[in-house]
């Protein structure tokens, strides 16, 4: 799994447990973590909180309402399906970060959610994919997913071609 995350360089990728806690990430994940309140980055870093919290990267998300509309129902379904009280608490917590009303429904014609974020004065656009490994019999792998962020436009591709200090294969724990 580390090889998959590392191999996605120079673009961001993160491996997470089923409760959205970061297990490891490549160095490009800094695009999302830059400027995040250090309290949110203490272990166990929860990527759902980091993404939607007002002290996380939510203020830099240019399409926050759209991202919330995608993530909150997904988290609610996951909590209901598993009956996991920690996922239920996480859902209640991240839901409280935004407006009290339910997020607008997604357009079923949309096949991918763009994630638009401001980073170093540039608007970057990503399309994310989530990959899971193993079979239903492999509990360890069944609970881990890798989210990989692909560039969604030429500006994002160009940005990653010129980011100083990035070393291929560098991992963030």
Predicted TM-score (pTM) of this structure: 0.84
The range of the structural domain enclosing residue 43 comes to: 2-172
How confident is the prediction along the chain (173 residues), in pLDDT tens digits per residue? 889 999 999 999 999 999 999 999 999 999 999 999 999 999 999 999 999 999 999 999 999 998 998 899 889 999 999 999 999 999 999 999 987 666 566 565 566 789 999 999 999 999 998 888 765 555 555 578 999 999 999 999 999 986 655 554 444 54
- CATH number reported for the structural domain that contains residue 77 in this entry: 3.30.450.180
Q: What is the DSSP letter of 21?
A: B
Tally the domains of the chain. 1
Closest to 66 in 3D by CA, of 10, 104, 23:
104
What would you measure as the largest C-alpha separation in the chain, in angstroms?
46
Give burial (CB, 10 Å; 0-12/13-18/19+) of 5: buried
Q: Percent helix, strand, coil in the chain (nearest 5)?
A: 40, 25, 35
Rounded to an integer, what distance in angstroms lies between the CA atom of residue 97 and that of residue 92?
9
């Amino acid at each position: 799994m580390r090889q998959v995350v590392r191999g996605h360089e120079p673009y961001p990728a993160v491996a997470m447990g089923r409760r959205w806690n970061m297990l490891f990430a490549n160095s490009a994940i800094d695009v999302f973590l830059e400027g995040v309140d250090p309290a949110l980055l203490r272990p166990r870093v929860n990527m759902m909180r980091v993404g939607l919290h007002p002290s996380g990267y939510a203020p830099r998300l240019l399409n926050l309402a759209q991202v919330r509309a995608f993530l909150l129902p997904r988290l609610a379904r996951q909590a209901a399906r598993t009956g996991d009280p920690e996922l239920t608490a996480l859902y209640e917590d991240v839901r409280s970060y935004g407006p009290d009303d339910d997020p607008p429904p997604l357009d079923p014609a949309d096949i991918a959610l763009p994630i638009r974020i401001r980073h170093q004065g540039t608007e970057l656009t990503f399309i994310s994919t989530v990959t899971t490994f193993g079979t239903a019999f492999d509990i360890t792998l069944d609970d881990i997913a890798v989210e990989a962020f692909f560039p969604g436009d030429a500006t994002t591709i160009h940005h990653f071609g010129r980011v100083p200090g990035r070393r291929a294969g560098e991992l963030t724990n």
